[in-house]
Amino acid sequence: MNELVAAVPWLGKRNPTAARWLIIIIAIAAPFIAWQFGRSWVRILDFALLYMMLALGLNLVVGFAGLLDLGYIAFYAVGAYTFAFLASPHFDIHLPFWVILPLGAAFAALAGVMLGFPVLRLRGDYLAIVTLGFGEIVRIFMLNLNHPVNITNGPQGINMIDPISLFGWDLSRNIRIGEDFTINSLFLYYYFFLAAVVASIVFIQRLQISRIGRAWAAMRDDELAAKAIGINTRDMKLLAFALGATFGGVAGCLFGAFQGFVSPESFSLMESIAVLTMVVFGGMGNIAGAVVGAFVLALLPEVLRDVAVPLQQTLFGHVLLDPEVLRMLLLSLAMILMMLLRPAGMIPARARYCHDKHLSATLKREGAK
Amino acid sequence: METLIQQFINGLVIGSVYALIALGYTMVYGILGLINFAHGDVLMVGALVALQTMMFLMGIAPGMSPLVMLAIALAVAMVICMLLGFTMERLAYRRLRNAPRLAPLITAIGVSFLLQTLAMIIWGRNYHTFPQLIPTTPLQPIPGVFVTPVQITIVVVSALLMSGLLLLVNRTRIGRAMRATAENHRVASLMGVDTNAVIALTFVIGAALAAVAGVMFASNYGIAHYGMGFMPGLKAFTAAVLGGIGNLGGAMLGGVVLGLVESFGAGYIEHLTFGFLNSSYQDIFAFIILGLVLIFRPTGLLGERVSDRA
């Protein structure tokens, strides 16, 4: 929260309390503002919150522990498919949400450890490629496990997934108060996801300053030195994979229930890269960075979709770049330009967590102030 | 028996394409320690540029002999890819040479997706039919075994290019400069080697090889589209690791071995798993091999250097 407060332009440094309240008000009021532009914008906000959760989880692995994971979306898939298997007509199992959520998280964590074990000895770029391969293997299995026994229903995916129901309160139904006032289900999901993201932030913040978080930072900055001072790097790496995967799994469960439909298409490499770009864009190793990066990069393509398409219509008479192309263009350019111009991200992680050598000159100047 | 020989031939053909691409990865890795993630997409650009050139030539000179047309298309594709390789190095990677370890890799991923997006904008999302300029009527050297002239050309051209590259690296002045730079570029520059030029040259050569590989790959399957470079790129990287990254001979060996494993694997997987898995799982072999090699023999088949650069 403090990092997020400090990141508010102008106000953050002058009046932190005001900045804090500003963030809280924006977080609560956001769906009402979005509602003015149309129903779909609230839905986009809901997805932005899911991306935030993913970015927070990936930041744990990439930013805190320094392990570049390009297959992160596989854990999201594990969570989503767990929910789909256990709460849909596909196998005709309908378990309650509070039973599936821990199961989804546990399966994802297990997948994280399964990926973690073989890659413990790898570092940096090799690790990235192997995790990418892991993500692709998971996707290939999702696509093809409809034969000879139909498990995943192949490319069609699984639909009619049960919505989230909290203590008998179905989040997918609008609530009607009185005669002419209804709360849309999208709002209910928004606040539920918001609560989940806030809980994640609190948890991760505590984690970062704990023994574990400090061990990760030490390992990321210099593995050999970390070993020398008695950090069990093997366990720490496995823990990073498992915890990061847990967040992915939880986000996946929420995604499956919210969307009501899962298919391998949602878990392509592009999505892994998108989440990574969010982390990189915001600032690796920084909670506020992950939150802001996810928020900006989840909303910007949608804004572009609304602005750029009509603009192209009026300028050229037809649509030159469709929204999906624009999104890819934006993400890839964000990744390249951030690395070249501002490698520490929009909100650089605070200097005490960073390796001095790795800081850009700009960051050093800012740190000296 | 026929199936066995047929799978062997298929594996050899696709393996030589992998080997050609793997050379680009391994040369860049040997010199910079960078996985040039965008290398596979250079292949895609090569194939699509060649396609565009062929279309253009067919439009202006319909009577041109197919071989000349192919040669011109290949030349244009190589030149464009060389420019692309040079630009990539100059604009993106050179500035990150002393950056922290993850930065160049993340940039390379960005470049890869940027190239795919640009290709999508220029050539659209559709699959394009790639003109078959070399006859595709299969020959039957042994009854029941089919080889097309395209496949023969692929193997021969790859072999020629690879021996050419080996000669260049091992016998010429430029090659010596490249080896010196790979060994230690600071010392090499003290000895009067223009390391920046050598690194740029490495990218350019790799890109040219990728362009040839792209044209061969597209000719073999008869299609080209914006995402075609990704999988071969990844597999070629696996081949480079399998052979021992940084080692030219290793990349060639790794490519051929990977091609054979994939071909036999896809052919026999249904048999081995009692029908549970089928040939749609073909792509996982590369990843499994990659994992196994990195865990049990990170130096690869022929590699001497333990890569400790993270």
Cα dist from A98 to A83, A88, A128, A164, A168, whole Å: 11, 15, 34, 9, 11
Considering only CA atoms, which of B203, B165, B195 is closest in space to residue B177? B195
pLDDT over 80 (residue B273): no
**How many CA atoms within 13 Å lie on the side-chain side of A116?**
23
**Which token pair is A312?**
């192209």
CA distance B185 to chain A (A): 21
SS (H, E, C) chain A: CHHHHHHCCCHHHHCHHHHHHHHHHHHHHHHHHHHHHCHHHHHHHHHHHHHHHHHHHHHHHHHHCCCCCCCCHHHHHHHHHHHHHHEECCCCEECCHHHHHHHHHHHHHHHHHHHHHHHCCCCHHHHHHHHHHHHHHHHHHHHHCCCCCCCCCHHHCEECCCCCEECCEECCCCEEECCCEEECHHHHHHHHHHHHHHHHHHHHHHHHHCHHHHHHHHHHHCHHHHHHCCCCHHHHHHHHHHHHHHHHHHHHHHHHHHHCEECHHHHCHHHHHHHHHHHHHHCCCCHHHHHHHHHHHHHHHHHHHHHHHHHHHHHHCCCCCCHHHHHHHHHHHHHHHHHHHCCCCCCCCCHHHCCHHHCCHHHHHHHHC
Burial of A207 (0-12, 13-18, 19+ CB in 10 A): middle
Contacts of B281 in chain A (CB under 8 A): 140, 144
pLDDT (0 to 100) of residue B39? 93
pLDDT over 90 (residue B133): no
**Which token pair is A254?**
């929420």
Contacts of A270 in chain B (CB under 8 A): 113
pLDDT (0 to 100) of residue B309? 40
Amino acid at A231: I
pLDDT (0 to 100) of residue B172? 93
Sign, CA dihedral A213-A214-A215-A220, equals: positive
Considering only CA atoms, which of B35, B43, B200 is closest in space to residue B106? B35
Q: What is the ipTM of this complex?
A: 0.84
CA distance A133 to chain B (A): 5
CB B110 to CB A118 under 8 A? Answer: no
pLDDT (0 to 100) of residue B307? 44
pLDDT (0 to 100) of residue B308? 42
Ranges of chain A with pLDDT below 50 = 353-358, 369
Q: Please state, in angstroms and rounded to a whole number, the distance separating the CA atoms of residues A334 and B255.
A: 33
Q: pLDDT tens across A149-165, in order? A: 888 888 888 988 888 88
Q: Most B CBs within 10 Å: which of A339, A354, A360, as the mutation test of the B interface?
A: A339
**Closest residue of chain A to B104, computed from CA coordinates:** A339
User: Hey, how many other C-beta atoms are within 10 angstroms of the C-beta on B77?
Assistant: 28
**How many CA atoms within 13 Å lie on the side-chain side of A331?**
28
B251-285 in b/e form (b: 16+ CB < 10 A) is bbbbbbbbbbbbbbbbbebeeeeeeebeeebbbbb
Cis upstream peptide for A310 (omega within 30°): no
Amino acid at A170: D
Q: Most B CBs within 10 Å: which of A319, A335, A359, A362, as the mutation test of the B interface?
A: A335
**Which token pair is A124?**
């940096």
User: Hey, how many other C-beta atoms are within 10 angstroms of the C-beta on B304?
Assistant: 10
**Average pLDDT of chain B, as a whole number:** 88
Q: Please state, in angstroms and rounded to a whole number, the distance separating the CA atoms of residues A18 and A11.
A: 7
Q: Please state, in angstroms and rounded to a whole number, the distance separating the CA atoms of residues A305 and A299.
A: 10
Percent of chain B at pLDDT > 90 equals 51
**Closest residue of chain A to B237, computed from CA coordinates:** A129
CB B120 to CB A325 under 8 A? Answer: yes
CB B110 to CB A333 under 8 A? Answer: yes
CA distance B80 to chain A (A): 21
State whether residue A130 sits within 8 Å of chain B by CB. yes
Q: Please state, in angstroms and rounded to a whole number, the distance separating the CA atoms of residues B97 and B158.
A: 31
Amino acid at A60: L
pTM: 0.88
Q: pLDDT tens across B46-102, in order? A: 999 999 999 999 888 888 888 899 999 999 999 999 999 999 999 989 988 888 778
Q: Which residues contact A366 (CB under 8 A, 6 or more apart)?
A: A348
Q: Please, are residues A172 and A97 in contact by the beta-carbon 8 Å criterion? A: no
Query: Hey, which residues does A181 pair with through a beta bridge?
Result: A177
pLDDT (0 to 100) of residue A127? 86
**Which token pair is A251?**
């986000």
Cα dist from A138 to A75, A132, A192, whole Å: 9, 10, 29
Q: pLDDT tens across B186-205, in order? A: 899 999 999 999 999 999 99
Residue with tokens 């020959």, as numbered in its chain: B139
Contacts of B245 in chain A (CB under 8 A): none
pLDDT category at B206 given cuts 50, 70, 90 is very high
Q: What value does the mean pLDDT take over residues B233-257?
A: 90
SS (H, E, C) chain B: CHHHHHHHHHHHHHHHHHHHHHHHHHHHHHHHCCCCCCHHHHHHHHHHHHHHHHHHHHHHCCCCCHHHHHHHHHHHHHHHHHHHHHHHHHHHHHHHCCCCCHHHHHHHHHHHHHHHHHHHHHHCCCCEECCCCCCCCCECCCCCCCECHHHHHHHHHHHHHHHHHHHHHHHCHHHHHHHHHHHCHHHHHHCCCCHHHHHHHHHHHHHHHHHHHHHHHHHHHCEECCCCCHHHHHHHHHHHHHHCCCCHHHHHHHHHHHHHHHHHHHHHHHHHCCCCCCHHHCCHHHHHHHHHHHHHCCCCCCCCCCCCCC
State whether residue A32 sits within 8 Å of chain B by CB. no
pLDDT (0 to 100) of residue A364? 59
B65: left (phi over 0), alpha (psi -120 to 50) or beta: beta
A294-308, B86-100, B270-284, B290-304: least confident range = B270-284
Q: How far is CA A27 from the centre of its chain?
A: 17
**Which token pair is A41?**
């914008």
